[in-house]
Amino acid sequence: MIALIFFSALLWDNAQAWGFKDGVLHNSIWLERAAGVYHRESRSGKYRLTYAEAKAVCEYEGGHLATYQQLEAARKIGFHVCAAGWMAKGRVGYPIVKAGANCGFGRTGIVDYGIRLNRSERWDAYCYNPNGKECGGVFTDSKHVFKSPGYPNEYENEQICYWHIRVKYGQRIHLQFLEFDVEDDTACMADFLEIYDSYDDINGFVGRFCGDELPDDIISTGNVMTLKFLSDSSVTAGGFQIRYVAVDMPSKSGDGKNTTSQGKANFLPGKFGIM
Ligand SMILES: *[C@@H]1O[C@H](CO)[C@@H](O)[C@H](O)[C@H]1NC(C)=O
Ligand SMILES: *[C@@H]1O[C@H](CO)[C@@H](O)[C@H](O)[C@H]1NC(C)=O
Ligand SMILES: [Ca+2]
């Protein structure tokens, strides 16, 4: 935990707390991780979750709906979302840090819609998951091999891992998959590895991977990259080993691909929001 806070603090200079993803303001993984609270909407869009569904979304990732107090504690360290979501006990609201005319009626604080009598109303969800089994890390070496948690054993259920790679300015990161086996399903909704060509999980989405086919090599456009691994509450698999090597820009390894990659059945290119 201490190491985590330390890393978060280290990255704070570089990492913005917020950014736009699919046109929606998102908190960065670093802020979410520090807060233990995050916002989820339905895969089909904003305000589509009943109370029972919102609960299920959080539990699917090993957490539960945040209480009002947890959401307020997160807000105090910068957690800001302009969308109302279910909290524990059927409460609905959203956390506002920056006052704006279009959101939160120009005020800051938790905009509180109170406890809803009608649990079939549809909102987003605020989840709390402080001790999602921690894994991941921050790498600044010029090369490194990293593994899914527990490798060569199978990874566990309900993991959320972030790996952040940062090499020297002016270099790129060449990722190579040595082993890859993640619970397979058509849209990679159960367990998945996501790769971002940026310092957070907001910008530069490269792809979402699952199954046991080795993904192609990926070369970043800049000197940072973020990988996010999430497993749900059932069925695990062998996991993965990934090597990265810092390469000088412009890329000398002509055989490598750009951060654009195609042709994988178990690969979802382009914009792909989470639940
Ligand atoms: C509860 O909310 C849903 C969704 O907004 C609505 O369709 C339904 O009519 C409401 N039920 C009552 C009793 O108001
Ligand atoms: C990488 O992508 C850019 C733009 O999409 C393209 O111009 C360039 O040729 C690509 N480089 C390689 C090595 O494929
Ligand atoms: Ca699974």
Distance 174 CA to ligand 2 centre (A): 15
Tell me the CA–centroid distance for residue 162 and ligand 3, in Å: 17
Reduced to 3 states (helix: H, G, I; strand: E, B; else coil), residue 174 is: strand
99-112: pLDDT as tens digits = 877 888 888 999 99
Ligand nearest to the CA of 249: 2
Secondary structure of residue 204 in the 3-state scheme = coil
Q: Give pLDDT tens digits for 47-64.
A: 999 999 999 989 877 789
Q: Is the CB of 262 under 6 A from ligand 1?
A: no
In the DSSP assignment, the letter for residue 89 is G
142-184 pLDDT, tens digit each: 999 999 998 999 998 878 888 999 999 999 999 999 999 999 9
Walk me through the domains of the chain, giving residue ranges and CATH numbers. 37-128 (3.10.100.10), 134-248 (2.60.120.290)
Question: How many residues would you count in the chain?
Answer: 275
pLDDT at 42 (0 to 100):
82
Cis peptide preceding 250, ω within 30 of 0: yes
Nearest residue (by CA) to ligand 1, atom 4, is: 121
- Give the environment of ion ligand 3: residues with CB less than 5 A: 183, 190-191, 231-232, 235
The mean pLDDT of the chain is 82
Whether the Cβ atoms of residue 83 and residue 104 lie closer than 8 Å to each other: no
Please state, in angstroms and rounded to a whole number, the distance separating the CA atoms of residues 143 and 207. Answer: 22
Whether residue 50 has its Cβ less than 6 Å from ligand 1: no
How far, in Å, is the centroid of ligand 3 from the Cα of 244? Answer: 25
